[in-house]
């Protein structure tokens, strides 16, 4: 019965602590992961805006972006650029996918025509994920510029972050459980001591009453 009380008290103390540990670790992971992912767009935003502004001001697209790709999409971690005409057909770029300039779903261009820009994670093949920014440009020939880079290193950081948060959460749960068990035992000892003191006081009072009545 005593062990059951200690266990119940332990759970009563530990569950709020466990919830706090899980919430804190989850918030830390979410905040840092979002920072990793959102900051992965920063170079592409600058590249896409600079190229779209240059073309809009009259610079020839071929002087900025090569007509023929120079590397494979899966072979480099460097930022890459692809140009598309107003219908969404690729017209030049620094990377190739399966030997050709990569295509994007038409829905991307529809969104960019409305908002002027779109930022998203692009997965053209299984195991290949890229942080890309698509900007619309005007001028003598309107179209779209895509700037992107691989998320491979970012995802490695995210995996390491997940492992660290999980390890910290597990340690937090174990330490909080041990602390809750300690508090529960101490509380049970005090309750027992208090109950024992009340019992002795009651017995002493009853004995005194009996002696007084006998005399």
Percent pLDDT > 70 in the chain is 87
Q: Which residues of 60-77 are buried (b: 16+ CB within 10 A; e: fewer)?
A: ebeeebeeebeeebbeee
Does residue 212 register a pLDDT over 60? no
pLDDT band for position 207 (50/70/90)?
A: low
**What's the whole-number mean pLDDT along residues 118-138?**
92
pLDDT of 193? 66
pLDDT of 5? 77
204 or 30, greater pLDDT: 30
pLDDT of 166? 97
Question: For the purposes of burial, counting CB atoms within 10 Å of the CB of 1, is it exposed (0-12), middle (13-18) or buried (19 or more)?
Answer: exposed
187 or 119, greater pLDDT: 119
206 or 118, greater pLDDT: 118
Q: If one looks up domain 41-150 in CATH, what number appears?
A: 3.30.450.20
Q: Which two tokens stand for residue 46?
A: 């600058």
pLDDT of 208? 47
Dump pLDDT digits (tens) for 58-100.
888 778 888 788 888 887 888 999 999 999 999 999 999 988 9
pLDDT of 63? 81
**What's the whole-number mean pLDDT along residues 160-186?**
94
Residue-averaged pLDDT of the chain: 86
**What's the whole-number mean pLDDT along residues 185-213?**
60
Which residues have C-beta within 8 Å of that of residue 28, sequence separation ≥ 6?
165
Task: Please answer whether residues 95 and 76 qualify as being in contact, where contact means their C-beta atoms are separated by less than 8 angstroms.
Answer: yes
**What's the whole-number mean pLDDT along residues 102-109?**
91
pLDDT of 164? 97
pLDDT band for position 105 (50/70/90)?
A: confident
**What's the whole-number mean pLDDT along residues 43-62?**
89
Which residues have C-beta within 8 Å of that of residue 146, sequence separation ≥ 6?
48, 81, 82, 83, 84, 93, 104, 132, 133, 134
Q: How far is C-alpha 164 from the geometric centre of its chain's CA atoms?
A: 13
Pairwise CA distance, residues 101 & 94, whole Å: 8
pLDDT of 17? 94
Task: Please answer whether residues 90 and 102 qualify as being in contact, where contact means their C-beta atoms are separated by less than 8 angstroms.
Answer: yes
């Amino acid at each position: 019965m005593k062990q059951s009380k200690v266990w119940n008290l332990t759970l009563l103390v530990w569950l709020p602590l466990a919830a706090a540990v899980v919430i804190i670790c989850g918030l830390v992971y979410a905040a840092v992961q979002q920072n990793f992912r959102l900051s992965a767009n920063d170079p592409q935003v600058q590249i896409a805006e600079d190229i779209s502004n240059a073309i809009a001001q009259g610079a020839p697209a071929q002087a900025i972006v090569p007509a023929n790709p120079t590397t494979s999409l899966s072979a480099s971690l460097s930022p890459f650029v692809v140009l598309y005409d107003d219908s969404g057909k690729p017209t030049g770029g620094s990377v190739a996918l399966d030997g050709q300039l990569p295509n994007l779903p038409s829905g991307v261009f529809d969104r960019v025509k409305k908002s002027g820009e779109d930022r998203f994670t692009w997965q053209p093949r299984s195991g290949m994920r890229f942080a890309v920014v698509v900007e619309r440009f005007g001028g003598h020939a309107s179209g779209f510029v895509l700037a992107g880079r691989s998320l491979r290193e970012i995802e490695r950081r995210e995996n390491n972050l997940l492992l660290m948060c999980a390890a910290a959460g597990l340690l937090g749960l174990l330490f909080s459980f041990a602390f809750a068990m300690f508090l529960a035992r101490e509380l049970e000892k005090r309750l027992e001591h208090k109950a024992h003191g009340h019992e002795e006081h009651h017995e002493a009072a009853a004995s005194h009453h009996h002696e007084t009545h006998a005399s």
